[in-house]
Structure 1
């Protein structure tokens, strides 16, 4: 997938429609594990905020100035902070609604996560 700048992602977020019937079950306000009973066939990859092998490793620092946490639906989407800075942008093939997708790699698991790209929560 091509690399997107934070400005590219913000433009996508501001131009997108509300989720349709095909993608609404995935339109979580905060980060959620991708539901095991759902398919991602309605989504297509658009780009990534970071590509492996880049010289500068993205930070693992999160941005929560109002006391939110990773899982909070109202947590800001700080595109230069974790986990947004390591995410991919996917859009619904039917309506164009945009999502952030990120895979958490643990010692014995892999957890694919998804969050609706909400323009009002994007911070610089």
Structure 2
């Protein structure tokens, strides 16, 4: 599924997203153009807050691996743009005093 789209074919709606790494969903982006098509969550799996990152890398890094058993991928859903077919991962970060919708383009080359 991740290999089924070339990011250079993004529609005008998706071109406004520059989410090669995780980012907050931009305020003006119309999320209703995205449809949830699946989840990476595993029912009854033990909680895992560990991140699979190389030294010096953060989850915000554009080259961070997409490691499904690790945070935040294990809490993510898979979305597709209804117009162009671009695939995204989304999850909700719930901090002590805030909620932040996050999005990252699904790049097959980074899946580990």
Superposed pair shares fold, TM > 0.5:
yes
Query: TM-score, structure 2 length as denominator?
Result: 0.89
Task: Find the counterpart in structure 1 of residue 37 from structure 2.
Answer: 46
**RMSD of aligned C-alpha atoms?**
1.4
Task: Find the counterpart in structure 1 of residue 45 from structure 2.
Answer: 56
Contact 2:88/2:103 (8 A) holds in 1: yes
Dislocated runs of 4+, deviation >3 Å: none
TM-fit CA distance, 1:85: 1.1
Contact 1:50/1:58 (8 A) holds in 2: no
Unpaired runs of 5+ residues, structure 2, are none
TM-fit CA distance, 1:27: 4.3
2: CA distance between counterparts of 1:98 and 1:13? 7
Residues paired across the two proteins, number:
110
- What is the 5 A alignment of 1:30-109? 30-50=21-41, 54-65=43-54, 67-109=56-98
TM-fit CA distance, 1:86: 0.7
2: CA distance between counterparts of 1:25 and 1:101? 16
Corresponding residue SS for 1:14: helix
TM-fit CA distance, 1:42: 1.3
Unpaired runs of 5+ residues, structure 1, are 1-11
Greater Cα shift, 54-63 or 110-119: 54-63
Query: TM-score, structure 1 length as denominator?
Result: 0.81
TM-fit CA distance, 1:49: 1.1
